[in-house]
Amino acid sequence: MDNPELVAIQIGSRIRECRRAKNITLQVLSDETALSTGFLSKLERGEASASIANLISISKYLGLSLQDLFQTSSEAAPPPPDYVLSKAKERNDEAPLSAAGYTFHRSCGDLPGQQLAAFELEFPANQESQPVLVSHEGEEVLYMLDGKLEFHIGDDVLILERGDCLHFNCEKPHMGRNIGAKTARLMMVVSSASPIKRRFGKG
């Protein structure tokens, strides 16, 4: 499934299916994730895109792993239990998903019981939208592949350039924005155990 609209529909359907199976209303999910019922309703219909932080928050409350949201019932048998190889060509053939201020590809596979998820993020140059500060349990590692990014962690402002690597506690409010003349690309690895997102800005 390489069409971003189809991926959005798949993710939304998976969220709705799990929410209804657990008899969780949209209002309860909204209260627990700090996301509006209107946004969640559009997300379930595949009419809205969610950031990685939003997906972490929703999957945690629904008792899903982050990778569960990207799986379909028609997919092949599970990968080998000890490793998953994600081929570059297969990832490059997939259209990116959109979030507030960036697009992203999932880079990892579906390792049973996995505690980490990996994504490649792209922040376009000359961004007009203001990034939103987010917070969630766990840790993140960011590795800059190209470009220049201004990254906020609490009151600290860091400049990340190609080759820089940042490891931080996700409970601190954080966000990034491109301050270079070209697209900023980075690899993000996030722990997916017990994440809870909170919002610190408009979104």
Condensed to tens digits (0 to 9), the pLDDT of residues 163-185 reads 999 999 988 999 999 999 999 99
- Per the structure, how many domains does the chain have? 2
Mean of all residue pLDDT scores within the chain: 82
Q: What is the CA radius of gyration of the chain?
A: 16
Residue 66: closest CA among 14, 123, 121: 14
> For residue 54, what pLDDT band results from cuts at 50, 70 and 90?
confident
Quick one: 16 and 103 in the same domain?
Answer: no
**Range(s) of the domain holding residue 95:** 88-199
The answer to whether residue 126 sits within a structural domain is yes
Quick one: 98 and 194 in the same domain?
Answer: yes
CATH number of the domain bearing residue 12: 1.10.260.40
The answer to whether residue 163 sits within a structural domain is yes
Residue appearing with tokens 């092949």: 76
The answer to whether residue 78 sits within a structural domain is no
The answer to whether residue 79 sits within a structural domain is no
Q: What angle do CA 6, 12, 16 make, to 5 degrees?
A: 145
Quick one: 99 and 195 in the same domain?
Answer: yes
Task: Tell me the per-residue pLDDT of 81-116, one tens digit each, with 9 for 90 and over.
Answer: 677 788 887 777 777 888 878 888 888 877 777 788
Quick one: 61 and 94 in the same domain?
Answer: no
> For residue 3, what pLDDT band results from cuts at 50, 70 and 90?
low
Quick one: 111 and 172 in the same domain?
Answer: yes
Using the predicted structure, report yes or no on whether residue 77 has a pLDDT greater than 70: no
